[in-house]
Structure 1
Amino acid sequence: MSLALAHAAAAPAQSTQVFILPHGTTTLPAAAVGDLSAEARQYVAAALADDQKIVHLNHFSHHHYFVVLADKPTPGQVAEALRRNGHTLHGLLKANKVAEVYVHNLSATPAAALLLAEALSLSAYQFEGYKTDEKSRKAPALTKISLVGDAATGSDLTELDGLLQGVFLARDLVNAPLNKLNAVQFAERMAQAGDAAGYTTDILDLAKIEALRMGGLLAVNLGSPEPPTFSILEYKPANAQNTKPYVLVGKGVVFDTGGLSLKPTPNSMDMMKCDMAGGAAVAGTLFALAKNNVPLHVIGLVPATDNRPGGLAYAPGDVITMHSGLTVEVKNTDAEGRLLLADALSFAKRYEPTLVVDLATLTGAAVRALATEASAVMGTADAATLKQLSDAGYAVHERLVEFPLWDEYADHIKSDIADLSNLGKGEAGHISAAKFLERFAEGYPWIHLDIAGPAYLTAAESYRGKGGTGVGVRLLYEFLTRKLTK
């Protein structure tokens, strides 16, 4: 779901309004006074002097809210503080059953109203799920946000709405359980989204995957009663500014039991419907780019299967031959995501890409290193490109922390009987996993994002909510659109 976003020349009388004020404001600007009584103005001034970040006036028929920008050292931190205030504001609007709100930007930060609208929309997200009892299905109170005057243009709102739809697509996919989203259904959902947004989808079935000799994807799928898929999402507008495509690769393990190296439960297996969050982020990014007619050629690759211990499941000690021709000794069947990604990274070479970025809920080591606050980043792209991606991460608060890919880490994935082992040492697991992927990402610049921490939250956290966060969509959209020549 998403809120309706609109532009308004002015706010109607007795409507609920939000005024964004500069940091340090102690008296109301004239534009925010309106018909407020002297007592009301005095109340707000006292609250501002007390350094309150959100001030609320209840007029019974309507409400006024005053949101004060934070004093932070960087624009990104100011923006994030405003998003978090937006989440708090959403709670107030929800408690007061406000259906529509008008937002005025009275600060010197041009994007402030858009940032607040973004936070309200992300906070209002609800996974519609499968509830049938009307008592348990609660319709959202807030249904429309109108930005007043020069707070934003109509094109700004259209772009924000397209981006939010991409985030919500990713969240919906991650939140769906296995019995509602197996590999085939996942591929079909991505294709349906492409039809709605404007990108094409080619779904490779089992026979085509076998013909391509994608040994990693096929091995992981051996224990499943359902076939794998390999989805190729392509957005290629006629006015694309890049001659060689950007390729996004997303891990699509729709459920991970760990295979024969079975995960313990609870706490490890019970949330593993989220193990396709990388693939969901790829779909969400393609959706946002296509919906907003961004002039870039972008391809998404999503190998998908579940990882189960049944039937002819691959076993520790097996040796498999990958799409690239390299052989891999399986030391642990729970290190399956890198096998799917390796085939996709090898396949990506045929596109002669400008850059390949993969996203995956790949390792517990990344979570232990960074918790849910950031994603780990590694790769062979040049320092300038890595910095551009990091800068985009700070702008949208989907932050990245770079780890090294020194030659010595290659020793972690040596095998006595094959070219590589799929499991590294007990330490630096997120690095050895990336070092494994590096062997298949040859011939082009490549960046790996381990999103295992922030992709899925077991408890609600500000506007990121609970469950699938859609991490990666806003990051990649910001990064890619910064590549445009204006």
Structure 2
Amino acid sequence: MPLHLAHAADLPTGVTTVFILPAGTHNLPDAAATDLPKEARQYVSDQLAADAKLVTVNHFSHHHYFVAAAAKPSADLVAEALRRHGHQLHNALKAAKTQEVYIQDLTEEGSGALALAEGLYLSAYKFAGYKTDAKSKADSALNRIVVTGSQVTAEAVQELEGVLQGVFLARDLVNAPFNKLNATQFADQMAAAGEEAGFHTEILDLVRIEALRMGGLLAVNMGSPEPPTFTIMEYKPENARNEKPYVLVGKGVVFDTGGLSLKPTPNSMDMMKCDMAGGAAVTGVLYALAKNKIPLHVIGLVPATDNRPGGMAFVPGDVLTMYSGLTVEVLNTDAEGRLILADALAFAKKYHPELVVDIATLTGAAARAVGKEGLVAMGTAGDERLLQLKQAGNRTHERIVEFPLWEEYADHIKSDIADINNLGKAEAGHVSAGKFLERFTEGYPWIHLDIAAPAYLTAPDSYRGKGGTGTSVRLLYDFLKSL
């Protein structure tokens, strides 16, 4: 049974409940102790005084859990602590084989229940996978999370579920192996998401991509027996409040061998099914916006192909003519993501966009710069837009580290025989990649997000789990909604 997030005005008796208590609380409020005997109340108080993060009381027919809100310097960090408590709670519920849990926030603010539910919901994600034994295919025991109280509305709970379903969609796409998700299958999945959520999808095939002369996408695809796709997703409700659309561009390299500049393995090529995480995130954001009927006109562009060394594969030294007309000298075929993004960014100009944001697992340099704890950002959209993005990043804890696009970085991508080259230098590789993309963004404000580190995790990390994380879905939903 799929997991469902719901709202109830009142808390029933005799149900498994988690109570969120004010920071520093040792004595239980009456609302959290109505059916607890004196000894149990004392036990909970003693555990809270000992700084226990999660206190459990087993009533045999149900459980009560107690979580004290953390004392943090900002509301954003308090919310993140509650998300992490949600992960800890999920482990306890899983051990108890709990199917339904209620959440009641007894703090003065009363807003923490959504954050705890968010962490719990995300922790409950499980990729369906391809195992054939019945035990492996069994659903997670938890199938219903109910947020209670008058300080949270049913509409807010429903909206949160729509966003988290977008995250789950992105995770599913990233976790699918290449033999189950080539460029055509990826495009079909985007179209299916549109059918379900309510946005329009157009898929450009090889013939139309050739007609558009998308030299970057066509070059990266040359070594593959599978054709490329270019998917256009458009969500345009009648009550959209923006006259010009916001455009999201997602890198869709469904598997990256590095091409003839072959990646080493293990620890590099092995997990390259995740190299389309930017495209997956764009799909998840469009899905969440449409599901929740947010009044924004948003377009998603996802160029997709695999990058392989076979057949007529492009080679170092080739010169490509891009969709924009610029020429690019290829110095490394493993710097392919920027080539397909460049065509999509130039294509985005036709929409006269209010803002373009591209999302990509683009460089190891970004991963080394900030690790899995953050996302690299840069662009031309101006300080106000980047501040809004950072604020959304703090609210969702998908935090942004801004890097400069100083003019001197243009020297890193100079070519002797073409307009630019596709590699840059060893230093500041994430910035020279951004500087490359900037050349294709003339005519509109633009932000580049490099999600190379947090998009796919090889070890579990709290509610982000292991494998595809769906990173930037919650961030971009929050950001766009706030504009």
Q: Secondary structure at the match of 2:108?
A: coil
Deviations 1:246-283 (A, max 9, x none): 00000000000000000011100000000000000000
Larger mean CA deviation between 141-150 and 417-426 belongs to 141-150
In the alignment, what sits opposite 2:461?
461
Deviation at 1:111, TM superposition (A): 2.4
Partner Cα separation in structure 1 for residue 98 and residue 148 of structure 2: 17
User: Is the 1:258–1:308 contact (alpha carbons within 8 Å) kept by the matching residues of 2?
Assistant: yes
Letter in 1 for 2:213: R
Letter in 1 for 2:412: H
Partner Cα separation in structure 2 for residue 468 and residue 108 of structure 1: 36
Q: What is the alpha-carbon root mean square deviation over aligned residues?
A: 1.0
Larger mean CA deviation between 22-31 and 166-175 belongs to 22-31
User: Is the 2:8–2:154 contact (alpha carbons within 8 Å) kept by the matching residues of 1?
Assistant: no
Partner Cα separation in structure 2 for residue 257 and residue 310 of structure 1: 10
In the alignment, what sits opposite 2:15?
15
User: Is the 2:282–2:473 contact (alpha carbons within 8 Å) kept by the matching residues of 1?
Assistant: yes
Deviation at 1:46, TM superposition (A): 1.1
Determine whether 1:306 maps to 2:306. yes
Deviations 1:417-463 (A, max 9, x none): 00000000111100000000000011100000000000000001000
Partner Cα separation in structure 1 for residue 6 and residue 259 of structure 2: 48
Q: Secondary structure at the match of 1:210?
A: helix
In the alignment, what sits opposite 1:212?
212
In the alignment, what sits opposite 1:257?
257
Determine whether 1:274 maps to 2:266. no
Determine whether 1:97 maps to 2:100. no
Letter in 2 for 1:12: P
Determine whether 1:174 maps to 2:171. no
In the alignment, what sits opposite 2:81?
81
Deviation at 1:159, TM superposition (A): 0.4
Deviations 1:76-103 (A, max 9, x none): 1111111111100110111111111111
Letter in 2 for 1:327: T
User: Is the 2:356–2:446 contact (alpha carbons within 8 Å) kept by the matching residues of 1?
Assistant: yes
Partner Cα separation in structure 2 for residue 338 and residue 352 of structure 1: 22
Gaps of 5+ in 2: none
Partner Cα separation in structure 2 for residue 8 and residue 387 of structure 1: 36
Partner Cα separation in structure 2 for residue 442 and residue 29 of structure 1: 59
Partner Cα separation in structure 1 for residue 29 and residue 218 of structure 2: 64
In the alignment, what sits opposite 2:119?
119
User: Is the 1:221–1:313 contact (alpha carbons within 8 Å) kept by the matching residues of 2?
Assistant: yes
Deviations 1:125-181 (A, max 9, x none): 000011111133342111111112225221111101110110000000000001000
Partner Cα separation in structure 1 for residue 367 and residue 174 of structure 2: 18
Tell me the matched-pair count.
483
Deviations 1:226-264 (A, max 9, x none): 100000000000000000000000000000000000001
Deviation at 1:19, TM superposition (A): 0.5
User: Is the 1:378–1:404 contact (alpha carbons within 8 Å) kept by the matching residues of 2?
Assistant: yes
The residue correspondences of 1:307-326 to structure 2 (distance < 5 A) are: 307-326=307-326
In the alignment, what sits opposite 1:35?
35
Letter in 1 for 2:196: A
Partner Cα separation in structure 1 for residue 109 and residue 473 of structure 2: 24
Partner Cα separation in structure 2 for residue 267 and residue 184 of structure 1: 27
User: Is the 1:124–1:140 contact (alpha carbons within 8 Å) kept by the matching residues of 2?
Assistant: yes
Q: Secondary structure at the match of 2:466?
A: strand
User: Is the 1:199–1:286 contact (alpha carbons within 8 Å) kept by the matching residues of 2?
Assistant: yes
In the alignment, what sits opposite 1:292?
292
Larger mean CA deviation between 189-198 and 130-139 belongs to 130-139
Partner Cα separation in structure 1 for residue 20 and residue 469 of structure 2: 26
TM-score (norm 1): 0.98
Determine whether 1:183 maps to 2:151. no
In the alignment, what sits opposite 2:226?
226
In the alignment, what sits opposite 1:434?
434
Determine whether 1:404 maps to 2:404. yes
User: Is the 1:53–1:69 contact (alpha carbons within 8 Å) kept by the matching residues of 2?
Assistant: no
In the alignment, what sits opposite 1:130?
130
Deviations 1:262-307 (A, max 9, x none): 0011100000000000000000000000000000000000000000
Partner Cα separation in structure 1 for residue 354 and residue 78 of structure 2: 33
Partner Cα separation in structure 2 for residue 10 and residue 349 of structure 1: 51
User: Is the 2:11–2:149 contact (alpha carbons within 8 Å) kept by the matching residues of 1?
Assistant: no
Partner Cα separation in structure 2 for residue 153 and residue 387 of structure 1: 29
Q: Secondary structure at the match of 2:269?
A: coil
Letter in 1 for 2:338: R
Partner Cα separation in structure 2 for residue 314 and residue 50 of structure 1: 63
Letter in 2 for 1:467: G
Letter in 1 for 2:407: D
The residue correspondences of 1:418-433 to structure 2 (distance < 5 A) are: 418-433=418-433
Partner Cα separation in structure 2 for residue 287 and residue 480 of structure 1: 13
Deviation at 1:2, TM superposition (A): 5.1
Partner Cα separation in structure 1 for residue 263 and residue 18 of structure 2: 48
User: Is the 1:113–1:151 contact (alpha carbons within 8 Å) kept by the matching residues of 2?
Assistant: no
The residue correspondences of 1:240-251 to structure 2 (distance < 5 A) are: 240-251=240-251
Letter in 1 for 2:212: L
In the alignment, what sits opposite 2:142?
142
User: Is the 1:255–1:273 contact (alpha carbons within 8 Å) kept by the matching residues of 2?
Assistant: yes
Partner Cα separation in structure 2 for residue 111 and residue 315 of structure 1: 55
Q: Percent identity?
A: 71
Partner Cα separation in structure 2 for residue 478 and residue 387 of structure 1: 13
User: Is the 1:247–1:301 contact (alpha carbons within 8 Å) kept by the matching residues of 2?
Assistant: yes
Determine whether 1:414 maps to 2:388. no
Deviation at 1:12, TM superposition (A): 3.0
Partner Cα separation in structure 2 for residue 75 and residue 25 of structure 1: 18
Deviation at 1:477, TM superposition (A): 0.4
User: Is the 2:256–2:275 contact (alpha carbons within 8 Å) kept by the matching residues of 1?
Assistant: yes
Gaps of 5+ in 1: none
Q: Secondary structure at the match of 2:372?
A: coil
In the alignment, what sits opposite 1:61?
61
Deviations 1:392-426 (A, max 9, x none): 00110001101111000000000000000000011
Letter in 2 for 1:206: L
Letter in 2 for 1:309: P
Deviation at 1:55, TM superposition (A): 1.1
Determine whether 1:283 maps to 2:305. no
Partner Cα separation in structure 2 for residue 151 and residue 35 of structure 1: 23
TM-score (norm 2): 0.99
Deviation at 1:26, TM superposition (A): 1.4
4+ residue runs of structure 1 moved beyond 4 angstroms?
none
